[in-house]
Structure 1
Amino acid sequence: MTAATEPATTRAEGERRATPGGRLRDSPWATLVAIAFGVMMVALDGTIVAVANPAIGASLGASLAELQWVTHGYLLGLAVFLITAGKIGDRFGYRNTYLVGVVGFVLSSVAIALSAGVIMLVAFRVLQGVFGALLLPSAMGLLRSSFPPSKLGRAFGVFGSLIGAATAGGPILGGILVDAFSWEAVFYINVPVGAAALALGLWLLAANRATDPGSRMDVPGIVLLSIAIFALVWALVEAPAAGWDHPVTLVSLAVAALFGLAFLLWERRPEQPLIPLALFANPSVSIGALLTVAMALSLMGSLFFITFYLQGVRGMSPAQTGLQLISMTALMAVTSPVAGRVLDRVGARPPTTVGLLLASAGMFMLSRLETDTGVPYISFAFVLLGMGLSLIMTGATAAIIGNAPVRLAGVASAVQQAAMQLGGSLGTAVLGAVMSATIVSTLPGHFAGAGLTEPSADELAGMQSVVAQGGAVLPDGAAPEAVAAITRASNLAFMDGLHLAFTIAAVVMLAAAALSLLMRSGRMTDGPAVHI
Structure 2
Amino acid sequence: MSSSVMGHSPLPTHTPPTPPEPARGRRGHPWLTLVAVAFGLFMVGLDGSVVSIANPEIGRDLHASTADLQWVTNSYLLALAATLILGGKLGDRFGRRTYYLIGVAGFALASVAIGLAGSIEGVIAFRAVQGFFGALLMPNTLGLLRAAFPPKKFGMAVGIWAMVSSVSTALGPIVGGLLVEHVDWESVFYINAPIGVVALVFSVLVLPQSKSAAGRQRFDIPGVVLLALGLLLVVFGVVKGESWGWGAGSTLGVLAAGVVVLLGFGWYETRLGRPAPAASASPVSPDSRTGASRTGPAEERRGHPILPMRLFRSPALTIGTVISAVNFFVLLGVIFFVMLYLQNVRGFTPVEAGVRTLPLSLASVVASPLGAKLTERFGARLTMPLGMVLQAGASFAILGWGVHSSYAAMWPPFIALGLGVGTVMAASSDAIVGNAPVSDAGVAGGLQATALQVGGALGTSVLMSLISVRVGATLTGELTSAGVPASAAARMHEAKDAVAMGVSPVGDGMPQQLKSAVVEGSGQAFINGVHTAALVTGVLCVIGAVLAAAGVRRDPQVPAGH
Q: Secondary structure at the match of 2:410?
A: helix
In 2, distance between residues paired with 1:81 and 1:524? 37
- Kindly indicate whether the alpha-carbon contact (under 8 Å) linking 1:397 and 1:416 is maintained by their aligned counterparts in 2: yes
Q: Does 1:325 align with 2:357?
A: yes
**432-441 vs 518-527, which moves further:** 518-527
- Kindly indicate whether the alpha-carbon contact (under 8 Å) linking 1:91 and 1:214 is maintained by their aligned counterparts in 2: no
Deviation at 1:242, TM superposition (A): 2.5
- Kindly indicate whether the alpha-carbon contact (under 8 Å) linking 2:53 and 2:177 is maintained by their aligned counterparts in 1: yes
Query: Unaligned stretches of 5+ in structure 1?
Result: 4-10, 528-532
In 2, distance between residues paired with 1:41 and 1:269? 39
In 2, distance between residues paired with 1:520 and 1:422? 22
Aligned residue-pair number? 516
Q: Deviations over 1:311-354 (max 9, x none)?
A: 22222222221111111112212331222222222222212221
Q: Secondary structure at the match of 1:158?
A: helix
- Kindly indicate whether the alpha-carbon contact (under 8 Å) linking 1:435 and 1:501 is maintained by their aligned counterparts in 2: yes
Q: Deviations over 1:136-189 (max 9, x none)?
A: 111110001111111111000000011011001111112222233221111111
Paired residues for 1:79-118 under 5 Å: 79-118=81-120
Q: Deviations over 1:1-57 (max 9, x none)?
A: 999xxxxxxx986966645xxx9x721111101111111111111011122222212
Corresponding residue to 2:380 among 327, 348, 364 = 348
Alignment correspondent of 1:144: 146
Alignment correspondent of 1:277: 309
Distance 1:209 1:253, change over 3 A: closer
In 2, distance between residues paired with 1:159 and 1:455? 56
In 2, distance between residues paired with 1:130 and 1:338? 32
Q: Secondary structure at the match of 2:260?
A: helix
Corresponding residue to 1:478 among 510, 514, 525 = 510
Q: Quick one: percent identity of the two aligned structures?
A: 39
Deviation at 1:524, TM superposition (A): 12
Alignment correspondent of 1:166: 168
Alignment correspondent of 1:515: 547
Distance 1:248 1:323, change over 3 A: same
**124-133 vs 294-303, which moves further:** 294-303
Distance 1:453 1:225, change over 3 A: farther
- Kindly indicate whether the alpha-carbon contact (under 8 Å) linking 1:15 and 1:28 is maintained by their aligned counterparts in 2: no
TM-score by length of 1: 0.92
Q: Deviations over 1:212-253 (max 9, x none)?
A: 455432111111111111111111111212322444423321
Query: Unaligned stretches of 5+ in structure 2?
Result: 4-16, 274-303
Distance 1:449 1:175, change over 3 A: closer
Corresponding residue to 1:380 among 412, 417, 436 = 412
In 1, distance between residues paired with 2:451 and 2:127? 21
Corresponding residue to 1:447 among 479, 488, 495 = 479
- Kindly indicate whether the alpha-carbon contact (under 8 Å) linking 1:402 and 1:524 is maintained by their aligned counterparts in 2: no
In 2, distance between residues paired with 1:247 and 1:461? 25
Q: Which amino acid aligns with 1:89?
A: G
Distance 1:489 1:461, change over 3 A: closer
Deviation at 1:209, TM superposition (A): 3.7
Corresponding residue to 2:128 among 108, 123, 126 = 126
In 1, distance between residues paired with 2:416 and 2:511? 43
Q: Secondary structure at the match of 2:272?
A: coil
Deviation at 1:281, TM superposition (A): 1.3
Q: Which amino acid aligns with 2:82?
A: V
Alignment correspondent of 2:294: none
- Kindly indicate whether the alpha-carbon contact (under 8 Å) linking 1:343 and 1:395 is maintained by their aligned counterparts in 2: yes
Paired residues for 1:3-22 under 5 Å: 18-19=24-25
Q: Does 1:428 align with 2:460?
A: yes
Q: Does 1:180 align with 2:212?
A: no
Alignment correspondent of 1:7: none
Distance 1:170 1:450, change over 3 A: closer
Distance 1:496 1:2, change over 3 A: closer
Q: Does 1:399 align with 2:431?
A: yes
Alignment correspondent of 2:501: 469
Distance 1:175 1:223, change over 3 A: same
Deviation at 1:68, TM superposition (A): 1.9
**205-214 vs 417-426, which moves further:** 205-214
Deviation at 1:299, TM superposition (A): 1.7
Distance 1:339 1:456, change over 3 A: same
Alignment correspondent of 2:65: 63
Alignment correspondent of 1:153: 155
Q: Deviations over 1:461-504 (max 9, x none)?
A: 63112111112112452211111111111111111111111011
TM-score by length of 2: 0.87
**205-214 vs 406-415, which moves further:** 205-214
Q: Which amino acid aligns with 1:257?
A: V
Paired residues for 1:184-195 under 5 Å: 184-195=186-197
Distance 1:69 1:2, change over 3 A: closer
Alignment correspondent of 2:205: 203
- Kindly indicate whether the alpha-carbon contact (under 8 Å) linking 2:367 and 2:422 is maintained by their aligned counterparts in 1: yes
Alignment correspondent of 1:221: 223
In 2, distance between residues paired with 1:207 and 1:90? 10
Distance 1:280 1:207, change over 3 A: closer
Alignment correspondent of 2:332: 300
**330-339 vs 163-172, which moves further:** 330-339
In 2, distance between residues paired with 1:296 and 1:2? 25
